[in-house]
Amino acid sequence: MQKILNYINGELVEPSSKQYIDNINPATGAAYSLCPDSDERDVELAYQAAEAAFENWSNMPSDNRSKILLKLASFIERDNDKLAKAESIDQGKPFWLAQKGEIPRAQQNIHFFATAIEHYASETHSMGGHALNYTLRTPIGVVGCISPWNLPLYLFTWKIAPALATGNCVVAKPSEITPMTAFMLSELCIEAGLPKGVLNIVHGLGPKVGSALVSHEKITAISFTGGTKTGAEIARVAAPMFKKLSLELGGKNPNIIFADCDFDKAVKESVRSSFTNQGEICLCGSRIFIERSIYDKFKAAFVEESKKMKVGNPLADDTKVGAIASKMHFEKVLSYIDLAKQEGGNILLGGHEVNLDGENTNGYFIAPTIIENLAYHCRTNQEEIFGPIVTLTPFDSEEEVLMMANSTVYGLACNIWTENLNKAHRVAAKVKSGIVWINCWLLRDLRTPFGGMKQSGVGREGGWEAIRFFTEAKNVCIKM
């Protein structure tokens, strides 16, 4: 079986423990490779390598850093299909989704920050003729990046690219559930000539590798994407150590459909925002609120359109919904369907696992599920499920839908469907979320601030926000 290796000090190495965890293909339920079961010893080795590399990397002219990162980005582009297939097998997502969306986005992440640093200028503040302030922005040092399993290479590169581009050295930990493409990236880093120690990738379990990273005395900034509970644990450990923290956490996003929307577009895009990547995107709109006058019409069209979401082998071209990423998550999602029934939910579509034939007999497949008749404040409507499950709820007024939309502890993203521009702006301003999409979903400009309010996170990624996070600002004041 293929062994995934850690990437430390420019080399692919075994974990100190020499122990491995089975890496499961969720579409077959079978182990197909081995992920290092690393621990604090490997994190320490990675830290030492990063620390040793920092002087040269941080002092390298930014155009040289940019050149190396652009080379890495070009290798991702070259290997796009190979990486997409690996991502599909590792995570369960349809191959075409990784091929057309996520792996190209991983390339763009690196390209974007590699070129951004070429254009970056820090601020000056003149005090008339008296004095001049200028801001130096210097890399922090060795930083930690921890990423989840839902969009593995996409979210991994979204963190490491700004960290590296701004001159930091990185110790990174991908999810143990989907380690394959980060491993393949480490091979590309070697090929691209990334100096040794600049990026180190330590694979393994969160409570071992992740917590060793977070509690490491000398790693002074942590960029984390994952669940809210894990984010709280990281903050608990890191806050008293005064680490810089960026936390991108869970969501329970509202998708608001007003009666004056472009109906066909709203239905089609709502199917996409509900079930893309098996609903395992933090930005999926899992609570659909529909203005009462079009509730029945929308419900019928939405159910009809959702029936086209074929569940199947992730590698097949016609598969729209692949496998749930892990057995544990599969069981969690199914338990929420049971909960919804107990809470009085009426299942309009799906509501069960899907048993496929052949090599997929033991895979983790769940049918796209649509539920109505639930109170907005019940657990099904308040807790993050992170699977192909959505609820439909009617509303009568803007005030009511805003109250329901804002009723959860989360505040990541919101979709609004209306052709009335005034209403769109009004609702966008009042909804408590870090991202609002009007008449679209997941339309991304990498320059924009990305992140959530309330328990969806702390801080923002993207564009200058990421560059600011990964640098320390120092004001220098000169008296004239």
Q: Which residues are catalytic?
A: 248, 282
214 binds ligand NAD, rule: CB under 6 A = yes
Least distance from C-beta 68 to ligand NAD, angstroms?
A: 26
Instruction: Count the helix, strand and coil residues of the chain and give each as a percent rounded to the nearest 5.
Output: 45, 25, 35
First-residue to last-residue Cα distance in the chain: 68
Exposure of 244 by Cβ count < 10 A (0-12 exposed, 13-18 middle, 19+ buried)? Answer: middle
Part of the chain binding ligand NAD (CB under 6 A), chosen from 53-61, 242-250, 299-307, 358-366: 242-250
| Residues 405-434, interacting with ligand NAD (CB under 6 A) | 412
Contact 427, 201 (CB under 8 A): no
| Residues 282-301, interacting with ligand NAD (CB under 6 A) | 282
Least distance from C-beta 155 to ligand NAD, angstroms?
A: 6
Binding residues for ligand NAD, rule CB under 6 A, total 30
Q: Residue 370: how many CB atoms within 10 A of its CB? A: 26
- The closest alpha carbon to 245, from 319, 159, 131, 311, belongs to 159
Candidates 101, 148, 152, 388; binder of ligand NAD (CB under 6 A) is 148
Candidates 26, 152, 251, 350; binder of ligand NAD (CB under 6 A) is 251
Candidates 76, 249, 267, 323; binder of ligand NAD (CB under 6 A) is 249
Residues with Cβ within 8 Å of 429's Cβ and at least 6 positions away in sequence, in order, are none
Identify the three-state secondary structure at position 420.
coil
Q: How far apart, in whole angstroms, are the C-alpha atoms of residue 345 and residue 348?
A: 9
Q: Whose Cβ is closer to ligand NAD: residue 191's or residue 331's? A: 331
Q: Whose Cβ is closer to ligand NAD: residue 70's or residue 235's? A: 235
234 binds ligand NAD, rule: CB under 6 A = yes
459 binds ligand NAD, rule: CB under 6 A = no
Sheet strands (E) in 53-163: 124-127, 131-139, 142-146
DSSP code per residue over 442-461: S---TTS-B--EETTEES-B
384 binds ligand NAD, rule: CB under 6 A = yes
Contact 117, 147 (CB under 8 A): no
Tokens of 196: 């040794």
20 binds ligand NAD, rule: CB under 6 A = no
Least distance from C-beta 224 to ligand NAD, angstroms?
A: 7
326 binds ligand NAD, rule: CB under 6 A = no
- How many helices and strands (H and E) does the chain possess? 16, 23
Q: Whose Cβ is closer to ligand NAD: residue 66's or residue 223's? A: 223
Candidates 93, 111, 173, 287; binder of ligand NAD (CB under 6 A) is 173
CA-derived radius of gyration, the chain? 23
Part of the chain binding ligand NAD (CB under 6 A), chosen from 6-14, 244-252, 266-274, 397-405: 244-252
Part of the chain binding ligand NAD (CB under 6 A), chosen from 132-140, 145-153, 162-170, 463-471: 145-153
230 binds ligand NAD, rule: CB under 6 A = yes
Least distance from C-beta 7 to ligand NAD, angstroms?
A: 16
Determine the distance from the C-alpha atom of residue 261 to the mean position of all C-alpha atoms in its chain, rounded to a whole number: 29
36 binds ligand NAD, rule: CB under 6 A = no
Q: Whose Cβ is closer to ligand NAD: residue 247's or residue 301's? A: 247
- The closest alpha carbon to 65, from 161, 171, 180, 178, belongs to 161
Least distance from C-beta 202 to ligand NAD, angstroms?
A: 11
Exposure of 368 by Cβ count < 10 A (0-12 exposed, 13-18 middle, 19+ buried)? Answer: buried
394 binds ligand NAD, rule: CB under 6 A = no
Binding interface with ligand NAD (CB under 6 A): 146-150, 155, 173, 175-176, 206-207, 210-211, 214, 225-227, 230, 233-234, 248-251, 282, 384, 386, 412, 452, 457
